[in-house]
Amino acid sequence: MKYIDRFIYFLFILFLTACKKGQGAICNDGWRSHSVGSGTCSWHGGIDHYIDPNEIDVFKTVLLVVLILIVLFLFFISQNQDKK
């Protein structure tokens, strides 16, 4: 059971960090820059908009939830086979 506790803690930390879009800017030509300082997007036509560092990336969130469900499903299948 101690492995499940560690796994849940790891998934919680992963969920909090992996699902955010991060900081940076989207340039006018569509390029993504991880910079936020002076000169950001200077070779790409300027800044279209800045990325909110607390904004959640929906694709990453859905993918992570699906992966968590798959791992938990496989774990419970393996636990049931060990009992037989």
Tens-digit pLDDT string for the chain (84 aa): 566 667 777 777 776 666 667 788 999 999 988 888 888 999 999 999 988 877 777 787 788 778 878 877 877 787 777 666
Task: Output DSSP code: residue 37.
Answer: S
Domain boundaries, position 77: 15-83
Look at residue 75 and tell me if it is in a domain.
Answer: yes
Query: What is the biggest distance separating any 2 CA atoms in the chain, rounded to whole angstroms?
Result: 64
Coil, helix or strand at residue 48: strand
Look at residue 4 and tell me if it is in a domain.
Answer: no
| Residue carrying the six token digits 């939830």 | 65
Task: Output DSSP code: residue 46.
Answer: S
Q: Which two tokens stand for residue 36?
A: 């936020």
Look at residue 48 and tell me if it is in a domain.
Answer: yes
Look at residue 49 and tell me if it is in a domain.
Answer: yes
Cα separation, 23 vs 52, in Å, equals 6
Look at residue 7 and tell me if it is in a domain.
Answer: no
Look at residue 9 and tell me if it is in a domain.
Answer: no
pLDDT at 9: 73
> How many domains, in total, are found in the chain?
1
Look at residue 5 and tell me if it is in a domain.
Answer: no
Look at residue 3 and tell me if it is in a domain.
Answer: no
